[in-house]
Structure 1
Amino acid sequence: MADPSYIGTKSAPVTVPVEAGQLKFFAKATGETNPVYTDEASAKAAGYNALPAPPTFAFSLNLARPDPFATYTSLGLDLGRILHAEQAFEYGVPICAGDTITITETLVDIFEKRGGALAFYVFEGIATNQRGEIAMKTRNTLAYRQG
């Protein structure tokens, strides 16, 4: 049975430097072909001060935590029963090579479906840069098979 008393649980913040090599690798791994994400001259011509991060990149920075799944296990969740259900992004200022991004996630909702067979955990994350500007907000929903 999902425990709604966990709503409001926050992850420890993680701060990660953004490097050009990471951005190029992420662009390639996700099939991004726009040269603005892999070529410094193209990025500058497009008005960026350095290579910008491809869409969804900030979410991958969350994996830089010493234990990227600690929030889930602290809720008593068995990682083998978790499925990624939904992801949404709201973009703020661009993330660029040379930035330092800090990410924190908060559990904002828990609900059940299918007579309690599935519990859904909804997390909202905020990624800010070294100037305190919001670079991205995320909403991540996990489906958890109970029982």
Structure 2
Amino acid sequence: MAIDPAVIGTELPSSTLTIDAGRLRFFAEAIGETNPIFTDLAAAKAAGYENLPVPPTFLFVIELENPDSFGWLATLGIDLRRVLHGEQSFVYHSTAVAGDVLTATPRITDVDSKKGGALDLLTKTATVTRADGALVAELTTVVVVRNPEVAR
């Protein structure tokens, strides 16, 4: 089933997360980040940060805090067995650090069809803000949805 372009502009449930230093250390180690500013508070402070900074790509974790973080796909009638992560990108406006309370507010920003409708590309963009409303980043995710009923 093709995704209806009328979903463009749909706001999805927001997620809020208090950034925990232990979680940042674990994430940095998991992605192989070796810069000590991401795991050692003294190194972070020596580099000018007030606390451990958020490692690259960590901000996508915020949306995964929802109890049903992929429920929005099902709401659109998308079968999760037909979904593939296509792409992600980040535009950073400021650095988040441990202790920050961040909220990700996602919305659907584009729908495109490829290969004669056999594939739909669904783009979701989330703005990440601090508790005071200051913009931290914009996160973009492209989800590829295979439409098996379309002959190839």
TM-score by length of 2: 0.94
Structure 2 residues not aligned, in runs of 5+ = none
Structure 1 segment 1-147 matched on structure 2, within 5 A: 1-147=2-148
Structure 1 residues not aligned, in runs of 5+ = none
Farther off after superposition, 122-131 or 36-45: 122-131
AA partner of residue 22 (structure 2): G
User: 2:14·2:63 contact (CA, 8 Å) conserved in 1?
Assistant: no
* Cα separation, 2, equivalents of 1:80 and 1:104: 25
Alpha-carbon offset, residue 9 of structure 1: 1.1
SS in structure 2 opposite 1:101? strand
Task: Write the deviation string for residues 54-92 of structure 1: whole angstroms up to 9, x where unpaired.
Answer: 011111111001110011111111111111111110001
Farther off after superposition, 36-45 or 12-21: 12-21
TM-score by length of 1: 0.97
Alpha-carbon offset, residue 94 of structure 1: 0.8
Alpha-carbon offset, residue 22 of structure 1: 0.7
Matched-pair identity in %? 43
Superposition CA RMSD, Å:
0.8
Alpha-carbon offset, residue 30 of structure 1: 0.6
AA partner of residue 51 (structure 2): A
User: 2:84·2:145 contact (CA, 8 Å) conserved in 1?
Assistant: yes
SS in structure 2 opposite 1:21? helix
* Cα separation, 2, equivalents of 1:79 and 1:3: 17
